[in-house]
Amino acid sequence: MTESRKRHPHASRRTLRVELIAGGLVILGLWCWGQGNNQPAASAAPPKNLPQVARSVAQQPPIGDPADTHLDTTPPRLTHGLDLVKSGWSYDCMECHRLFPARWHYGGDHRPLNEHRDIILDHGNNRFCLNCHHPTNRNAFVDYDGAEIAQADVVELCAKCHGTIYRDWQAGAHGRHNGFWKADLGDRTKLRCIQCHDPHSPKFKAMKPLPPLRYPPRAAHPPETAAHP
Amino acid sequence: MTHDPQNEVSPQTIEQVYRPVTRRTFLKGAAASMIGVAGLMAALKPLLELESGSITLEELLQKRYRELKPEELKRIMESLAAKAEQEYGVRPNLRDLKPLDGVEFGYALNLTRCIGCRKCAHACLQENNQSRDDDDDLEMSYIRVLELEKGAINLETSNMYFDPPTVPQPDKYYMPVQCQQCRHSPCTQVCPVRATWPEKDGVIVVDYNWCIGCRYCMAACPYDARRFNYKKPTLKPAQINPNQNYLSNRIRRQGVVEKCTFCLQRTRAGKYPACLEVCPTGARVFGNLLDPNSEINYILNHKRVYVLKEEVGTAPRFYYFFDK
């Protein structure tokens, strides 16, 4: 799995891995990790000196026309992917999961007990991990007939339960298109479901609005302008 | 030279456009006649400007856009580009994109989805080279995002200056309003010099070199969609979008009216408008009304859409709908 984590929220940890391998400076590395954890999450721009790794197009596809640099087309959510890097180590799902069988049910709150503690399902009645993750190949998702859905086709996963929304999405009425509306003049890109919805907690998240515009000028002057007549 | 029947009718007064005269339209008419005095002053302004050197004789004597021969237009565009470079430090790629054949633009906005984040309004400033450098710049985005109480559509009590820590707020919904590109556009009918007109693809444009700044069109617009340049726009070189078009986002002069053109510098080149490109919720849908397979026609065929202020009979090309 060779994918750059340019936009990855855990990106700083990757720097750490390089340090570990290069110098074996374990202590320094742990220190850096701690620093990395203090950084603001996903939205912070990754440091420039990250190693560049080739990335499959399906994972973080470009959005819209590259010429539109003046427009902020960043999607609301940065996807994680399944082949993660955690604490500087490859977190390939199957490295652990080939060792033990799938568990369908957990007691109480239906959550794994010792690993993946950060994942808390809040997806309506969809309460089981293996409704989505493939039981024997954790690097893929599962279709209703038990077939694998590749990571890049994650939209198919959502489609199996959200058919009408998927149909709207295909038609361009749900989600967002970028680039060219006229197909013979250029390419069009489509945001995938998980670029807007967190699969584990899919409700669309509230965000901070951009500041109000000064037009039209407010009728009643705000206090600071009222001070000098 | 193509002859556009719209061009032949003599300019109408606001009262003629809004018939029968109701109290509201009467008041509007009265307001417009007051602006009329200012309009006369504005009409004289070019002469003063010529004197002060802020416009050239060539600009003053220039014909209206629709009468220009291609080579005349080309020459004018070159001189405009040179002037912009000298004033703003960036040479624009100034073009004159014509309406595409078999295309009529339509826009739809999903009010259930919109969360009022204002990304569209700010992208509009950037795309359309709106003045935004000084602190006293008005930031005249073509889009106003209104915050409304849930349960009723009452534009009168809407708030444009909302600024909560996060949006959406649970008891509110949000409604961005921009030019509705009306099929019966009152603004174009009241223009005394016919400096604004609907194009073949439905976009209503302004010839900034012909507009006299009388603002009749602003009084006639039921959607408050037009903006007036009270001052010369101020922009840093880095703030300038060089992809410019004669009838849309080239940097305007002082004293002319401007408006949303569905970003025709983008949409006539086949691209989506800027406000759609940045919408984080995907509330905006844009496309060709004449193409039965377009996204906009999917909305018109599958969702219940409505138009804003239907009672004034403007027949907008901009639709609103509620849908998950």
Across the interface, whether the CB atoms of B281 and A76 are under 8 A apart is answered: yes
Across the interface, whether the CB atoms of B299 and A173 are under 8 A apart is answered: yes
Candidates A65, A176, A218; nearest CB to B279: A176
- Residue B97 and residue B269: Cα distance in Å, rounded? 8
* Chain A closest-CA separation from residue B140 CA (Å): 5
Question: Across chain A, what does the average pLDDT equal?
Answer: 74
Q: Cβ distance B166 to B287 under 8 Å?
A: no
Candidates B227, B269, B277; nearest CB to A73: B277
Across the interface, whether the CB atoms of A210 and B122 are under 8 A apart is answered: yes
* Chain B closest-CA separation from residue A121 CA (Å): 22
User: What is the per-residue pLDDT for A55?
Assistant: 33
Tens of pLDDT along chain B (324 residues) come to 445 544 445 667 766 666 544 444 444 555 555 555 555 566 666 666 666 656 666 666 677 888 888 888 999 999 999 999 999 999 999 999 999 999 999 999 999 999 999 999 999 999 999 988 877 778 899 999 999 998 877 777 889 999 999 999 999 999 999 999 999 999 999 999 999 999 999 999 999 999 999 999 999 999 999 999 988 899 999 999 999 999 999 999 999 999 999 999 999 999 999 999 999 999 999 999 999 999 999 999 999 999 999 999 999 999 999 987
Best-predicted range by mean pLDDT among A46-60, A94-108, B43-57, B226-240? B226-240
Chain A interface disruption, residue of B249, B272, B322, most A CBs within 10 A: B272
Across the interface, whether the CB atoms of A179 and B272 are under 8 A apart is answered: yes
Give B225's contacts in chain A (Cβ within 8 Å).
Answer: none
Position A20 pLDDT exceeds 70: no
User: What is the per-residue pLDDT for A62?
Assistant: 82
State pLDDT tens for residues A117-128. 888 889 998 888
Across the interface, whether the CB atoms of A215 and B166 are under 8 A apart is answered: no
Beta bridge partners of A77: none
Candidates A71, A172, A179; nearest CB to B274: A71
The H or E element containing residue B61 is: helix B57-61
Task: Compare all CA atoms of chain B with the CA of A72 and give the residue at the minimum distance.
Answer: B278
* Chain B closest-CA separation from residue A44 CA (Å): 18
Give B267's contacts in chain A (Cβ within 8 Å).
Answer: 181
Across the interface, whether the CB atoms of A176 and B117 are under 8 A apart is answered: no
* Chain A closest-CA separation from residue B192 CA (Å): 25
Q: How far is CA B80 from CA B66, B194, B212, B232, in A?
A: 17, 22, 18, 15
Q: How far is CA B47 from CA A118, B37, B43, B44, B56, in A?
A: 70, 17, 9, 6, 10
Helix axes of A11-23 and A26-38: crossing angle, nearest 10 degrees: 170
Give A76's contacts in chain B (Cβ within 8 Å).
Answer: 280-281
Give B291's contacts in chain A (Cβ within 8 Å).
Answer: none
Quote the pTM value.
Answer: 0.83
Give A213's contacts in chain B (Cβ within 8 Å).
Answer: 118, 121-122, 125, 139-141, 144, 160
Beta bridge partners of B297: none
**Chain B contact for A213, CB < 8 A?**
yes
Which of A218, A43, A169, A40 has the alpha carbon at shortest distance from B161? A218
User: What is the per-residue pLDDT for A27?
Assistant: 37
* Chain A closest-CA separation from residue B199 CA (Å): 19
Q: Which amino acid is at B130?
A: Q
Q: Which of residues 150-169 of A touch B (CB under 8 A)?
A: 165, 168
A62 sits in the region (left: phi over 0; alpha: psi -120 to 50; else beta) called beta
Q: Binning pLDDT at 50, 70 and 90, where does residue A90 land? A: confident
Across the interface, whether the CB atoms of B282 and A176 are under 8 A apart is answered: yes
- Residue A13 and residue A35: Cα distance in Å, rounded? 10
Across the interface, whether the CB atoms of A70 and B241 are under 8 A apart is answered: yes
Q: Binning pLDDT at 50, 70 and 90, where does residue A43 land? A: very low
Structure ipTM? 0.81
Instruction: Provide the number of CB pairs (under 8 Å) joining chain A to chain B.
Output: 137
